[in-house]
Amino acid sequence: MPSKNSAFPAALHSFADKTRFIPILEDFGGLAPLFLRPRNFGKTHFTRLLEDYCDEGRSGDFDANFAGTWIRSHRTPEAGAYRCLRVDFSGARTEGEMVLALAGALRDFSTRYPDAGMQEDEIEHGVCLSPAELLQSFLVNFFVRARGGKEIFLIIDGYDSFAYKALARGKDAFREAMADLHGSAGAIRDFLATVKAYMATGDGAIAKCFIAGVLAIPLDYLLSGFNIATNISAYRVFSAMVGFTSEELLCVLDRAAGSGRITSIGKVGLMDLMERRCGGYAFCQERQGEIFNPGQCLALLDAISGTGANPDPALEEASGDDAGMLRTILDLSEDRTKEQITGCVLEGEDIFSAMPGTLSLCDGLLDFDSAVWALYYLGFLAFAPSEHACAFRCPNERVLGIFRAAAS
């Protein structure tokens, strides 16, 4: 991602208008859609977009917040229809950090809705509880204090953060974290079970829930008590809900070129570089063009606009972490699987795989299909065009370099 003093702020991906997906998501109708994408693809921005759009307390700012967007002239009945509670677990590694993240979200909610939220001393007392217990305490208060049949739209970002961070530390750290039912794994399972218990139970209930994350790997493990979730990640209609399409990226580059900050390489040269290093992602079997990783695009823009230098150092720094993550997935795979996947990637061959019935790293070694789909969710593989079985390929040169580093 861009540096703190970048000429291109982290919110630059907001230049890509994703508001057209709001009514599509509304029409989907599932109680708890689950949306997974690799890191730095703009998931957090989209959860904030949903909050700004659906929250009753922000409805008075609709014209200002959505000026110039598609949804401005296509407003739906769910605009400002809920009291939104957005919980960002993306930085949480432990149960205690999850509680603090939830407490912060409850403070924000209670500031907007003092009639239906919690008092500060109640939140402070709740910091001693588990995330599930604190959420339940809030919901009990909401039932008592809310008026007019208002309902909550719960938005959860980074539900899998603790698992992702543990995976980055290696095979043993991940398995230890996932097996700890009294630690982070147990905390998020209990939290989601509480969410389910309070959904659609009458006035003041949680009316709907949207969950964003990176990993499908622990789904069966974490969501065993949350069977109302529907994984929409590979649905065609949501394939470009985050990330840059080619058209959106060209608009971003037009703005950058207009500022005179990319003259060293030019718009055409930069687009070519991004296609090779940041593009090639496809998230549905019916490949709909290419999706670009916006975080990597911004890193390139930042490097070129800030110094005019070759952007590779910024990308190599990110690649070091990714190489460790890839090694962990391969270490969790059967030897034959590891060799087959790595060989296909390095030889530029497509990988054919069927979606596994279950996807978990908690028991035994990953078989071929589970390993392929795990790598897909983490952004190391992308869908390739195929008329029959699901096909995957390495998305770009950057990821190919990560595979080479992991194989060395």
Residue 179 in any domain: the answer is yes
- Angle formed by the axes of helices 161-168 and 171-179, nearest 10°: 150
The answer as to whether 153 is a domain residue is yes
Based on the domain organization, do 190 and 266 belong to the same domain? Answer: no
**184-197 helix and 95-112 helix, angle to the nearest 10 degrees:** 40
Domain holding 168: CATH number? 3.40.50
**pLDDT for 128 beyond 90:** no
- Pinpoint the alpha helices (H) of 311-396: 312-331, 335-347, 368-378
Is residue 89's pLDDT more than 90?
yes
Residue 49 reports pLDDT greater than 80: yes
The count of C-alpha atoms lying within 13 angstroms of the C-alpha of 132, restricted to the half-sphere facing its C-beta, is 17
Our count of domains for the chain comes to: 3
**Burial of residue 36 (number of CB atoms within 10 Å: 0-12, 13-18, 19+):** buried
pLDDT at 307 over 70: no
Expressed as residue numbers, the domain containing 283 is: 244-310
**265 located within any domain:** yes
Q: Are residues 141 and 223 in the same domain?
A: yes
Whether 250 is covered by a domain: the verdict is yes
**Predicted pLDDT of residue 2:** 36
**263 and 323 fall within a common domain:** no
284/406 same-domain check: no
Q: What is the pLDDT of residue 9?
A: 38
Angle 312-331/171-179 helices, nearest 10 degrees? Answer: 60
Co-location of 191 and 273 in the same domain: no
DSSP 183: T
296 and 403 belong to one structural domain: no
Q: What is the 3-state secondary structure (H, E, C) of 291-318?
A: EECHHHHHHHHHHHHHHCCCCHHHHHHH
Q: How confident is the model at residue 263 (pLDDT cuts 50, 70, 90)?
A: low
| 8, part of any domain | no
Asked if residue 1 is part of any domain, the answer here is no
Nearest CA to 18 out of 47, 38, 39, 40 is that of: 47
136 and 230, same domain (yes or no): yes
* pLDDT band of 264, cuts 50, 70, 90: low
Instruction: Based on the fold, state whether residues 39 and 174 are members of the same structural domain.
Output: yes
- Boundary residue ending a domain (222, 238, 254): 238
**283, 310, 337: which is the final residue of a domain?**
310
Q: Is the pLDDT of residue 344 over 80?
A: yes
Is there a single domain that holds both residue 335 and residue 280?
no
Mean pLDDT of the chain: 83
The pTM score is 0.89
Q: What is the pLDDT of residue 77?
A: 92
Which of 216, 238, 260 is the last residue in one of the domains? 238
Low-confidence winner among 10-24, 66-80, 242-256 (lowest mean pLDDT): 10-24
Which of the residue ranges 15-19, 82-86, 117-121, 160-164 would you say has the lowest mean pLDDT?
A: 160-164
The enclosing H or E element of 25 equals helix 21-28
For a pLDDT cut of 90, what percent of the chain falls above it?
A: 45
Locate all alpha helices (DSSP H) within 81-155, ordered by sequence: 95-112, 120-126, 131-145
Over range 121-149, report the average pLDDT. 85
Range of lowest pLDDT (110-114, 129-133, 180-184): 180-184
Query: Both 172 and 217 in a single domain?
Result: yes
E strand or H helix that includes residue 353: strand 351-353
Q: Are 333 and 298 in a shared domain?
A: no
Q: Are residues 86 and 46 in the same domain?
A: yes
At 320 the pLDDT is 57
Residue 256 lies in a domain: yes
> How far is the C-alpha of 266 from the C-alpha of 301, rounded, in Å?
11
Residue 364 has a pLDDT of: 65
Does residue 301 have a pLDDT over 80?
yes
Mean pLDDT of 75-98: 93
- Residue pLDDT, tens place only, 211-233: 999 876 666 666 666 778 888 99
CA-wise closest residue to 292 among 406, 362, 395, 393: 395
pLDDT band per the 50, 70, 90 thresholds, residue 255:
confident
50 in a structural domain: yes
> Would you state the pLDDT for residue 293?
93
